Structure 1
Amino acid sequence: MVSNPALSFRPDPGTIPTDPGCYLWRDRHGRVVYVGKAKNLRARLSSYFQDVSNLHQRTRGMLEVAASVEWIIVASDVESLHLEYNLIKQHRPRFNVRYNDDKSYPYLAITLGEEVPRAMVRRNPRNDGSRYFGPFAHAYAIRDTLDMLLRVYPVRTCSKGVFDRHQRAGRPCLLFHIGKCSGPCTGEVSPEEHLALVEDLMAFVDGDTEGAVEALEAAMASEAEKQNYEAAARIRDQLKAMRTALAKQVMVTGKREDLDAISWHADELEVAFQVFFVRNGRVVGRKGWTVDRVEALDMAGLVQRFMVQVYSERAHTLGSGAKALTATAKGGADGLIKEPEGDATHLVGKEVLVPELPEDHETLEELLSELRGSRVVIRVPQRGAKRAFLDTVEENAREAFQQHRLKRAKDFNARSQALKELQEGLGLEQAPLRIECYDISTLQGTNSVASMVVMEDGLPRKSEYRRFRINGVVGQDDFAMMHEVITRRFKRYLAERDLPLEDEDGKPRKFAYPPNLVLIDGGKGQLNAANRALEELGIEGVELASLAKKMEEVFRPGRSESVMLPRSSEALFLVMRIRDEAHRFAITYHRSLRGKEMVESVFDEIPGVGPARRKALLGHFGTVRAMKEATVADLEEVPGISEGLARTIHDHLRPGRRRTPVER
């Protein structure tokens, strides 16, 4: 029997419950490395504590890293699906499958959170009360469609700054004059009338098209009967634009039905998924994902995990009040928060078409039905239009897989080679899977800041980036600044390493996980300062190096000679990329502080303008430049700004300029 490393911490089987729930494997630092779910926790966990030669290779790799296991009980199988998704999203375990969008897809966004909603194309949905449609395969496709639909539904598309400027001027913009905006900024239509246009636009994009076409045809006929031929011609043009937009939406079936089609193409290492969303018989969106098969899951298990991921993500992105797939931990994450608000039927089709049924599809149907608010069926079509449509989705998945393989083979091999070369070139005991790079940014000792950027497995981990404001060094002393930053970072590590990785509010602790390699942007001086900080704190097991810009030399503690990585090596490209990223991150923070200081200094010179009025002025005008261009009358429109104070502000912002009679 081959020794199983997990036997050293195996819990007593009698203490493991037989209830459904989720389990978490953690490494020696307490970091979650794998999350799974089970209908029977005792039976599932017992399968890990056996001869490792009987386990899948990926499972053996996980057990070699793991140092403990814990579990969370839930009330039902559906709740375990909810909880598993949220735990994976929260912890991002390295041995769970990773879903990567093959690109950033565009959505049509309607900003319902604003008093006068705006239609726009947005690539990164945010939880701000907006309603999202899509995703769409190409930005130009949705932009062209929106441009045509504005002739029928002339809703606002301008930014807040443009809207406010024309509202103050009392004159609508060019879009109003060419018939692509109804002019809500100047009261050409009331907010209620504009909202009605927005609702009609959303209904059309969501697939309710027949009623809109019939209404326009009836209106055109009515105007023609009244011999209002100009009005009839305008409606005719609107009908033409609407039919052109409809032609861009592919018709799948002859029925007005809602369905989603999911298919994939896979090998032993990766899977490419494609999803097409059909509403009222027309394709209204599609999206693709790629999955690293780092778990010992068959396709049925992968499909189940993928469907939970897809629809949970859609609930967050498109929800607009739909049921939330979230779980809360109360000493064991035993409850689910579900907030049914509004219409969620656009999130999930009545049917979900797949080439083969996912694992435990009855439970999955229950979850999707709960999300939609009505019955959802998962089925495998055998013939007809739906089978042909699913074959089309599979062709798209195959093409996406081939494109991804070409790109991924190059990227993965380069990253693996870079880490191996870096380990050998710097004489490290192990490959630096987690690298932290630090850089200082200052301008003659003012507004001094530092950045910390992180790469894991050769890829940026932006959620782990940190920035520091130097507060213990006066003047230009880069060495002392680096000593301060490294000391602060690793003091936090010492304080947090023995604590749970999440705080009382469930948020991850910022510095609880140590790097394999600390990379300093600088020469020997910065390196010695960082090394002194680590020695003073008694930090062990963390390698240290610095990269000097002049010759791209790498310095190591205790070595008089620098390490010259080959100019064409992947290792040198890797350390240069992370060094440049740390520099960019530090410069961005430094500029933001300088800009804030400059704004504050402008206001400090104006008597009578305190924090409240400063906030009101910036909220009204947006920038100091816009304030400088404003007249006294414009300044008086800001709440809390009297006529006399407006003149004072105007004179301070534009010294030496005489006011015109109108401004007086």
Structure 2
Amino acid sequence: MADPASYRPQTGEIPTNPGVYRFRDPHGRVIYVGKAKNLRSRLNSYFANPAGLLPKTHAMVHTASSVEWTVVGSELESLQLEYTWIKEFSPRFNVMFRDDKSYPYLALTMGEKFPRVQVLRGDRKKGTRYFGPYTAGAIRETMDTLLRVFPVRSCSSGVFRRAEASGRPCLLGYIDKCAAPCVGRVSPEEHRVLAEDFCSFMGGEAKRFTSRLEKEMAAAVEQLDYEQAARLRDDIVALRKVFERNAVVLADDTDADVFALHEDELEAAVQVFHVRGGRVRGQRGWVVEKVEDTTTPDLVEHLLQQVYGEANGSHGRLPREVLVPVLPSNGPELTAWLSGLRGAHVDVRVPQRGDKAALMGTVRENAEQALKLHKTRRAGDITVRSQGLLELQEALDLPVPLLRIECFDISHVQGTNVVASMVVVEDGLPKKSDYRKFAVTGAAAVDDTASMHDVLTRRFRRYLQDKVAQPDVLDTETGNAEAAAAAAAVDRPDAAAEEALLDTTTTAPRSKFAYPPNLVVVDGGKPQVNAAARALAELGIDDVYVVGLAKRLEEVWLPDSDFPVILPRTSQGLYMLQRIRDEAHRFAISFHRQKRGKAMTVSALDAVPGLGEAKRKALLAHFGSVKAIKAASAEELTAAKGIGPALASAIATAFNEGPETAQAPVINMTTGEIIEF
């Protein structure tokens, strides 16, 4: 751990203006971003008495090796810059609200020719309308009920194409829960009207549709068409059931998000009820670890920044009112920022009395229960992970805590389609955004040891390249950013004439391999471990430790060791190694199957230079077979879509000069079946 006094700036060097500051670790990674009305006062509070800081703040200042700051013109600018940097760097010590579960949304793909209604999770997509979030059970019932009244397509693209080709709709088309645009029962325009009505109903215009159906039912009764009247009656009942699931709590024109939180010294749980059209349409929850002496107004400010600043559709989610338990820090600036996102005024306030205050009490009770449940579930997990990491560190006699572990595995079938995987675990949890896949070719694919040496060399060579090339990475020995920039200028002669400057405002490109692990785990025994250690030694890396986990007896091998380390079968450290190894194996197998699947078919067209997949398909669609393409002249080949004179000449030349290749059929490599000549 670093001593905060080693990188503490002089008090006179720190300006008293408002601004944003960043703490970095010895590898240059931003670990904390904060803002302050007075930079000098705020930063001095970190160094005046480090022993008096809260545990996580104490860990942050001792993990960091430098601090830098940027002066801004106003508190609104500092709010915007702080949010931008938090989104860019994802600092590990910042307050980061994470969902306590993944909530589904009801979505309509309005960007497609035939819009599709479906249940989606995750990032939002352009051209898709979202409603929710809902609980998993409620959203399925809602969707099934509404398809009776608004029979919008809900099938996948594959099912739609098969029905379109066969001329027969799927089951939903037969039971009147789909208008069956795939077989022409409705035109694209009529189907889009259905989708727009679906969106309007979900957007709060329920009365318009129920009133219309009631009038149609009355007209059917007058005409003695009782069967039609009964169907319309059932449709009205179905629409009313959708709204019976959501309690009416406020006036019909109320659109608001109601936030409440419950906190203790270390963590806080947040709940939000989404009220649209006076009804609770959805609910979400987050749990956050409090990093420093964060006040409740600070928590509320960070929460609103994260919830409404997300890039995936924040404009569509911002309501007119945001009800909070306490006003956030920098309230006027935050309100102005939210109003800019929405394009209209947003009222951020604390409800004092009436129905909204009563609803706030209900949300607060949910937050209290959520924090209790979170602590109950997480207590065992955190204890087990911490115990496993500690046991592993002690068993391997490592001098550093295992903050980051990377595991590598090789996968192939009898030496073909050789691939490798890299999985990453930080603080005992998988970090899937850092997973990587490697294709192994040439001499490196001879055996597992050569493949492992090649993959480790490629991974850590990229780390060294990124370490030098990235302008804001710190020098690992001095902790000085300017020194690292100067070193980079020496290594890049073309940039030697440029002045090395520390840019704290321009967004830097994210590096894929800039952060090294404390421990590398390889799937294998002594040969694989020695190959990995040799790769690191050749690159001059001596601060990354290597072990291997052999499958047969689950032995842990160290480099240049004649005997393995035997961990107890009940050891949490061994369980952790096994889980990491199994995850690397799963990831490698999935990539190997993907690569092998692409190699299942081969064609004579594959060997033609400059002929990509799209143009191969265009040729086969135009001529029907490789044999017909071979017989065509260069002039005839230009009749296919996307084939110009130069490419047509190259195709003709390739077939004329390579008769054996030209006669090769398209073969399924698994079954040996000839697909086409």
Say whether 1:317 aligns with 2:312: yes
Match of 2:332 among 356, 362, 365: 362
Secondary structure at the counterpart of residue 71 of structure 1: strand
Secondary structure at the counterpart of residue 317 of structure 1: coil
Secondary structure at the counterpart of residue 150 of structure 1: helix
- Distance of 1:89 and 1:507 partners within structure 2: 13
Say whether 1:401 aligns with 2:355: no
Q: What corresponds to 1:193 in structure 2?
A: 190
Say whether 1:594 aligns with 2:596: yes
For the Cα contact (< 8 Å) 1:444–1:476, is it kept in 2? no
Match of 1:126 among 124, 127, 135: 124
Using the size of structure 2 for normalisation, the TM-score is: 0.83
Deviates more, 1:126-135 or 1:69-78: 69-78
* Letter of the structure 1 residue corresponding to residue 395 of structure 2: G
- Distance of 1:498 and 1:23 partners within structure 2: 23
* Letter of the structure 1 residue corresponding to residue 170 of structure 2: C
Q: What corresponds to 1:477 in structure 2?
A: 447
Q: What is the identity percentage for the equivalent residue pairs of Structure 1 and Structure 2? A: 52
Say whether 1:530 aligns with 2:532: yes
* Letter of the structure 2 residue corresponding to residue 586 of structure 1: A
Q: What corresponds to 1:583 in structure 2?
A: 585
Alpha-carbon deviation of 1:618?
A: 11
- Distance of 2:205 and 2:114 partners within structure 1: 23
* Letter of the structure 2 residue corresponding to residue 9 of structure 1: Y
For the Cα contact (< 8 Å) 2:114–2:181, is it kept in 1? yes
Q: What corresponds to 1:509 in structure 2?
A: 511
- Distance of 1:97 and 1:210 partners within structure 2: 42
**1:655–1:497 distance in 2 versus 1, CA, 3 Å:** closer
Q: What corresponds to 1:645 in structure 2?
A: none
Match of 1:202 among 193, 199, 202: 199
**1:550–1:209 distance in 2 versus 1, CA, 3 Å:** same
For the Cα contact (< 8 Å) 2:602–2:667, is it kept in 1? no
Structure 1: tracts of 5 or more residues without a match: 323-343, 621-637, 642-647, 659-664
Q: What corresponds to 2:90 in structure 1?
A: 92
- Distance of 2:241 and 2:674 partners within structure 1: 54
Say whether 1:232 aligns with 2:229: yes
Q: What corresponds to 1:106 in structure 2?
A: 104
Alpha-carbon deviation of 1:552?
A: 0.7
Alpha-carbon deviation of 1:453?
A: 0.9
For the Cα contact (< 8 Å) 2:257–2:322, is it kept in 1? yes
**1:600–1:249 distance in 2 versus 1, CA, 3 Å:** farther
- Distance of 1:652 and 1:520 partners within structure 2: 36
Alpha-carbon deviation of 1:605?
A: 11
- Distance of 2:641 and 2:102 partners within structure 1: 41
- What do the CA deviations read for 1:160-209 (whole angstroms, capped 9, x no partner)? 11112222233333322222111222222222221121111112112221
Alpha-carbon deviation of 1:295?
A: 2.9
- What do the CA deviations read for 1:466-519 (whole angstroms, capped 9, x no partner)? 111112426541111111111111222222223437899743111111111111
- Distance of 2:136 and 2:171 partners within structure 1: 23
**1:43–1:410 distance in 2 versus 1, CA, 3 Å:** same
- Distance of 1:468 and 1:651 partners within structure 2: 28
* Letter of the structure 1 residue corresponding to residue 124 of structure 2: R
Match of 1:451 among 418, 421, 424: 421
For the Cα contact (< 8 Å) 2:604–2:664, is it kept in 1? no
Alpha-carbon deviation of 1:211?
A: 1.6
For the Cα contact (< 8 Å) 1:207–1:282, is it kept in 2? no
**1:228–1:603 distance in 2 versus 1, CA, 3 Å:** farther
Alpha-carbon deviation of 1:8?
A: 3.1
Using the size of structure 1 for normalisation, the TM-score is: 0.84
- What do the CA deviations read for 1:415-454 (whole angstroms, capped 9, x no partner)? 1111110111111112211111111111111111111111
Alpha-carbon deviation of 1:89?
A: 2.6
Q: What corresponds to 1:177 in structure 2?
A: 174
Secondary structure at the counterpart of residue 498 of structure 1: helix
Alpha-carbon deviation of 1:408?
A: 0.7
- Equivalence map 1:57-456=2 (5 Å): 57-136=55-134, 138-313=135-310, 316-319=311-314, 322=315, 344=316, 347-456=317-426
Alpha-carbon deviation of 1:310?
A: 1.2
Q: What corresponds to 2:553 in structure 1?
A: 551
Number of positions where the alignment pairs a residue of Structure 1 with one of Structure 2 = 604
- Distance of 2:604 and 2:287 partners within structure 1: 50
Deviates more, 1:439-448 or 1:35-44: 35-44
- Distance of 2:189 and 2:84 partners within structure 1: 39
For the Cα contact (< 8 Å) 1:24–1:35, is it kept in 2? yes
* Letter of the structure 1 residue corresponding to residue 84 of structure 2: N
Alpha-carbon deviation of 1:617?
A: 10
Secondary structure at the counterpart of residue 48 of structure 1: helix
- What do the CA deviations read for 1:198-253 (whole angstroms, capped 9, x no partner)? 11111211222122211211222233333333332221111011011111122112
For the Cα contact (< 8 Å) 1:36–1:84, is it kept in 2? yes
Secondary structure at the counterpart of residue 115 of structure 2: coil
Q: CA RMSD in A?
A: 3.1
Structure 2: tracts of 5 or more residues without a match: 474-505, 623-639, 644-662
- Distance of 1:447 and 1:537 partners within structure 2: 27
Alpha-carbon deviation of 1:386?
A: 1.4
